Amino acid sequence: MTYFYSNAEFLMEYNQWLLSEMEAVDADEIEFTRIGEDIVFKLADENGNEFYTASIYDPVFEATQFLDGVNFDNTGYILMGMGSSAIIKQILENKTETAWVLIIEKDTALVKKFLQEVDLSPYLAGKPQRVIILTDIMDDLHEILNEYLVSLVGYYFLQTDLLRTFSSYRRDAAYYEGVVEAITNHLRTHMTAMGNSLEDTLMGITNELKNVPVALKSHRIKDLQDKYKGKPIVCVASGPSLDKQLPLLKEIKGKALIICAESAFRVLMKNGISPDVVCILERGTNSYDLSVKGIDIPEETALIGLTVMDERIPRAWNQHVIPVFKDNITHSRIMNEALGDRGTLYNGSSVAHFNYSLAHHLGGNPIVFIGQDLAFSEEGVTHSKDSFYVDQSDVEMTSEQRKQIQDSLQDDESFINRTVYVDGYYGGKVKSRELWRQFLFWMEHLISVLPSPLVINATEGGADIKGTRKMPFREVVDLYCQESVPSIPELFRELPPLPTEDNLQDTLGDMVSFFNDRLGEMLRVSQFAEEILQAIQQLQTELTNSDEGSIEFLEMKASRILRNVEHLLKEVLNDKLLFFFFRPLLSNYHVKINPISRVSSVERLKQILIHQSYFLKRLIEGGKQLLDVYDKGIRNVVLSLGYDSEELYLDAKPKWELPNLEGEEAVS
């Protein structure tokens, strides 16, 4: 008898492709031993030595010992190796229904044999499907991990138990070590990408709205696609190795497109090099104050900056300005949609990522990195000697800005600034920082998902960047930078004409209608949150004043509230704008709730209600702030473009009436 098809019914939602591919996998050669109701596999390690994947005497006792100390009130479990049915069954039996289990087993045939021989229906039937299985049959496991961990599922793994079974050490150890590293990197990136706070996100949205008039009167980034196809593009960052490359960089002006990071702009200008493009990524005021203020902007230098940049930057530039909507910032992607699709770029959290993404969009070949150290120099230096990190003599800087720079360069125990070691350009390990390691991981990810024919790392120092070919900059110059490339003024003259006044008015009208619709959904969710909050506050009062005889009735009320909170969370997670805006709040909520998610006592219920109450209050408050920012921002856009704010204005309404919360599913 085989359980494969009955098990597949309970795993189909998130494992459909794998289960389909397994049909053709031969599992007949997989040896196993049945011990009671469990199975243990007989495998061989890389040296041909046979071993059992779990105890053949008492696999249940072994599993109990293995899982001792695991918090089964958590919401995420990652298991390396599928060799013990007893371990998997105990996890499924003890976890909460909403908790996720991610199982990674290299051997696809072993997984098939497991599903043929082990009946999982007692643990999975009638419950939400929350099990994901990954195997070596998947071509790019890292990309699949990334898709899951940056999705809604990733929130359940913000606090997780990573469990590595005996067999994962005995066979394919390097594979599982690589998976552990990948998961760690993805979770770090996921947590960093959530943003610092709602206020930080509001700053970005505010800046973007202030830059919408500039965007509407500028050329579109989509019109630049492949404009430098097959031409060399040099991406300049401000690492310590940049200093030795400056003479060569000056030599190739006009023979390669030079794209520089905002922090490298002053360095190049001090050394008589006018870059073709300056990329601006940061949303804070420091980008203008430290990177742009006081510089005489060359006429041949274009600004290509994210729409979240300080509004002063594009207004201080020449006529060659293109604001860019970042594809993986939801509010930017939504604004681009609202404005009729001006094009987006996908990039990470460092301006060097933006440099690469732009170079790829332009069609550069080769794309060349210099100054991209992502590590300390041998002398312990972090940046070019002419950057504002080192030389502040030509920068008007407040004492607070000086302190921020000094603090950013200090070694400390914080997660971002802690010392790590990464693979070096010349081999071995080089000293780096956690933040730079995340930048490195993101750059390698970009090179993977935005492949270019040839990406050269000519930094000649710092970290090794996977996906690049290492080459001395002198050799790059001699091989690829010998012919002229179009200048920025020449490029802009060839672009399509700018929009007319009639085009602008139509676009503004579409934008207002778009946000009336999107923010109406936010108002509906906020009103639902207010109803749930009232019910929670009432229940908290009743729990304080209740006697033992009324506890059962109060628990019924609590169950309704918990279901409604879960429903509200799904509403937020399924709306792209709300999901993005409330990510820091959602992550905070999950970190607090995940370890106590099971209601096991009245005291535990009180704790859960406290966290839910805080979450709902911040969601309601944040919703009001978000609506206010869009209301003021859209009004300013209309006025700054010379139109009537009494005709074009935000007037969002909830999309539907609130449900009758006095009924059976009421929250009160």
Alpha helices in 150-299 (DSSP H): 166-170, 173-193, 198-216, 242-251, 262-270, 286-291
Same domain, 482 and 515: no
Which residues make beta-bridge pairs with 279?
Answer: 261, 304
Average pLDDT over residues 444-457: 94
Domain end, chosen from 433, 459, 493, is at: 493
Same domain, 446 and 425: yes
- Radius of gyration of the chain measured on its C-alpha atoms: 28
Same domain, 471 and 553: no
Does the CA dihedral 28-34-40-43 come out positive or negative? negative
Residue 546 belongs to a domain with what CATH number?
Answer: 1.20.120
How far apart are the C-alpha atoms of 82 and 91, rounded to whole Å?
Answer: 12
Q: Considering the domain boundaries, does residue 257 fall inside one?
A: yes
Same domain, 44 and 107: yes
- CA 121 to centroid of chain Cα atoms: 35
Q: What pLDDT score does 668 carry?
A: 34
Q: What pLDDT score does 159 carry?
A: 67
Same domain, 443 and 516: no
Q: What pLDDT score does 569 carry?
A: 85
**Domain hosting residue 19, numbered range:** 4-193
More confident residue, 491 or 46: 491
How far apart are the C-alpha atoms of 505 and 562, rounded to whole Å?
Answer: 46
3-class secondary-structure state, position 34: strand
Strand order in the sheet with 161-164: 131-134, 100-104, 76-80, 161-164
Domain end, chosen from 493, 516, 542, is at: 493
More confident residue, 72 or 373: 373
pLDDT per position as a tens digit, 76-87: 899 999 999 999
Q: What pLDDT score does 284 carry?
A: 79
- Whether 650 has a pLDDT exceeding 70, the answer reads yes
- Whether 344 has a pLDDT exceeding 70, the answer reads yes
Domain end, chosen from 461, 493, 525, is at: 493
Question: Are 285 and 276 a contacting pair, CB within 8 Å?
Answer: no
Q: Considering the domain boundaries, does residue 546 fall inside one?
A: yes
Cβ-based neighbours of 288, under 8 Å, separated by 6 or more: 310, 312, 313, 316
Average pLDDT over residues 319-338: 93
Of 106-115, 338-347, 356-365, 402-411, least confident by mean pLDDT is: 402-411
Residue type, 211: N
- Whether 645 has a pLDDT exceeding 90, the answer reads no
Residue type, 19: L
How far apart are the C-alpha atoms of 212 and 339, rounded to whole Å?
Answer: 9
pLDDT per position as a tens digit, 588-604: 787 777 666 666 677 88
Q: What pLDDT score does 158 carry?
A: 67
Q: Considering the domain boundaries, does residue 154 fall inside one?
A: yes
Q: Considering the domain boundaries, does residue 410 fall inside one?
A: yes
Average pLDDT over residues 505-513: 93
Q: Which residue has the tokens 């009001």?
A: 624
pLDDT per position as a tens digit, 363-412: 999 999 999 999 999 998 888 888 877 777 777 777 777 677 666 666 65
Q: Considering the domain boundaries, does residue 45 fall inside one?
A: yes
- Whether 665 has a pLDDT exceeding 80, the answer reads no
- CA 95 to centroid of chain Cα atoms: 27
How far apart are the C-alpha atoms of 71 and 11, rounded to whole Å?
Answer: 24
pLDDT band at 272 (very low <50, low <70, confident <90, very high): very high
Of 257-266, 329-338, 658-667, least confident by mean pLDDT is: 658-667
How far apart are the C-alpha atoms of 453 and 446, rounded to whole Å?
Answer: 14
Average pLDDT over residues 131-156: 77
Q: What pLDDT score does 152 carry?
A: 60
- Whether 270 has a pLDDT exceeding 90, the answer reads yes
Average pLDDT over residues 615-643: 93
Which residues make beta-bridge pairs with 424?
Answer: 463
Same domain, 449 and 319: yes
Alpha helices in 641-652 (DSSP H): none
Average pLDDT over residues 311-334: 93
3-class secondary-structure state, position 320: coil
Neighbours of 632 (CB within 10 A): 13
Same domain, 132 and 227: no
pLDDT band at 183 (very low <50, low <70, confident <90, very high): confident
Q: Considering the domain boundaries, does residue 660 fall inside one?
A: no
Q: What pLDDT score does 30 carry?
A: 95
Average pLDDT over residues 128-151: 80
Q: Considering the domain boundaries, does residue 345 fall inside one?
A: yes
Largest interatomic CA distance in the chain: 88
Same domain, 130 and 229: no
Q: What pLDDT score does 421 carry?
A: 93
Same domain, 186 and 246: no
3-class secondary-structure state, position 661: coil
How far apart are the C-alpha atoms of 37 and 84, rounded to whole Å?
Answer: 12
Question: Are 283 and 309 a contacting pair, CB within 8 Å?
Answer: yes
Which residues make beta-bridge pairs with 134?
Answer: 104
How far apart are the C-alpha atoms of 265 and 409, rounded to whole Å?
Answer: 20
Of 113-122, 158-167, 170-179, 238-247, least confident by mean pLDDT is: 158-167
3-class secondary-structure state, position 153: helix
How far apart are the C-alpha atoms of 279 and 291, rounded to whole Å?
Answer: 11
Phi–psi pair at 612, nearest 5 degrees: -65, -40
Strand-strand pairing, 419-423 and 429-433 = antiparallel
pTM above 0.85, yes or no: no
Question: Are 86 and 62 a contacting pair, CB within 8 Å?
Answer: yes
Which residues make beta-bridge pairs with 278?
Answer: 260, 303
How far apart are the C-alpha atoms of 116 and 125, rounded to whole Å?
Answer: 16
Q: What pLDDT score does 416 carry?
A: 74
How far apart are the C-alpha atoms of 264 and 355, rounded to whole Å?
Answer: 12
How far is the CA of 648 from the CAs of 334, 511, 520, in angstroms?
A: 19, 10, 17
Average pLDDT over residues 141-148: 73
Query: Token digits for 654?
Result: 């909830």
- Whether 303 has a pLDDT exceeding 60, the answer reads yes
How far apart are the C-alpha atoms of 518 and 541, rounded to whole Å?
Answer: 36
Instruction: Kindly state the percentage of the chain with pLDDT values over 70.
Output: 90
Q: What pLDDT score does 661 carry?
A: 46
Question: Are 193 and 350 a contacting pair, CB within 8 Å?
Answer: no
- Whether 188 has a pLDDT exceeding 80, the answer reads no
- Whether 126 has a pLDDT exceeding 80, the answer reads yes
Same domain, 325 and 394: yes
Same domain, 489 and 506: no
Q: Considering the domain boundaries, does residue 476 fall inside one?
A: yes
Average pLDDT over residues 446-450: 93
- CA 1 to centroid of chain Cα atoms: 44
Residue-averaged pLDDT of the chain: 88
Instruction: Kindly state the percentage of the chain with pLDDT values over 90.
Output: 59
pLDDT band at 666 (very low <50, low <70, confident <90, very high): very low
Q: What pLDDT score does 599 carry?
A: 67
* DSSP type of residue 80: E
For 122: left if phi > 0, alpha if psi spans -120 to 50, otherwise beta; the answer is alpha
pLDDT band at 147 (very low <50, low <70, confident <90, very high): confident
Q: Which residue has the tokens 């699949």?
A: 144
Cβ-based burial of 366 (10 A; exposed 0-12, middle 13-18, buried ≥19)? buried
Number of structural domains, the chain? 3
Same domain, 173 and 204: no
Of 244, 299, 229, the C-alpha closest to 489 is: 299
Q: What pLDDT score does 550 carry?
A: 58
Of 161, 180, 177, 181, the C-alpha closest to 169 is: 177
Which residues make beta-bridge pairs with 35?
Answer: 38
- Whether 351 has a pLDDT exceeding 60, the answer reads yes
- Whether 572 has a pLDDT exceeding 50, the answer reads yes
- Whether 163 has a pLDDT exceeding 60, the answer reads yes
How far apart are the C-alpha atoms of 499 and 42, rounded to whole Å?
Answer: 70
Long-range contacts, stretch 260-263, CB < 8 angstroms, 24+ apart: 260/235, 260/236, 260/355, 261/235, 261/236, 261/237, 261/351, 261/352, 261/354, 261/355, 262/287, 262/291, 262/292, 262/351, 263/237, 263/238, 263/290, 263/291, 263/351, 263/383, 263/387, 263/388, 263/389
